[in-house]
Amino acid sequence: FLSRQKREISNFDYLMYLNTLAGRSYNDYMQYPVFPWVLADYHSETLNLTNPHTFRDLSKPMGAQTVERKRKFIQRYNEVEKNLSAQCHYCTHYSSAIIVASYLVRMEPFTQTFCSLQGGSFDVADRMFHSVKSTWESASRDNMSDVRELIPEFFYLPEFLTNANNFELGCMQDGTVLGDVQLPPWADGDPHKFILLHRQALESDYVSAHLHCWIDLIFGYKQHGSAAVEAVNTYHPYFYGDKMDLNNIKDPLIKSTILGFISNFGQIPKQV
């Protein structure tokens, strides 16, 4: 942590190091490296990295980025909906195989992975990853089943934002034909500029000063227990794979259900 604050290591490298310690790997879509949304400004013509309002609140999970959204998830936790088997804020996860594949769907082998996870074809066009701005709005404000974070490629790989293979991804209800990912105005339609500015945002003074708050949520002490409840950061118990002793579950149906749940919806990183 001190090395990061002293600029001896980049924020990107530090996050990759933490992901590795926590058992995350590029080789496992179910435990793929997880990175934070760092920006909240996807509408301005120019990106101001000296303005705190440009950035996402790194002290809060994606489910608590707005007051109203946070209130609804706390209400869910307190009420314990009838269709839930356990008390939690979130029944979906911030990182899963389908989230990773959906982000990278325009590149092989992720295209085939996405289609196989979807039953052999692309998803409905309106649900496909097509716009950075709309994905942020969904995950931070609009969609109660979407609390997704990002993957490392958002900070170094412009190619995943273009439909260079000309895949027929479908047409949205408003008539928009899916192709390249729609970028914020400050990227000027250039994936390379988006990656450059996004990486600058990750390495900015603001993120350097607040990144530890997000690390506490994902990899640290606010991951579970009373600290997680207070931070509005609890997930379905099945997501905490390392906290569940599957060997003690004798019923094969229950065990397969849990394993299927984890593989489909994601897994909390090991605490570091």
Length of the chain: 272
Evaluate whether 221 touches 240 at the Cβ level (below 8 Å).
no
Let me know the angle formed at the C-alpha of 229 by 224 and 233, rounded to the nearest 5 degrees.
70
CA end-to-end distance (rounded Å), the chain: 13
Please give the sequence-ordered ranges of beta strands (E in DSSP) within 17-176, or none if there are none: none
Mean pLDDT by 10 residues, the chain (272 residues): 69 97 94 97 97 98 97 91 72 93 96 91 91 98 96 98 95 93 98 98 97 97 95 90 67 75 78 88
- Structure pTM? 0.91
- pLDDT score of 239: 85
- pLDDT score of 83: 54
How far is 72 from 215, CA to CA, in rounded Å?
24
The residue written with tokens 């990759």 in the block is 16
- pLDDT score of 265: 73
- pLDDT score of 1: 57
Domains of the chain: 1-263 (1.10.1540.10)
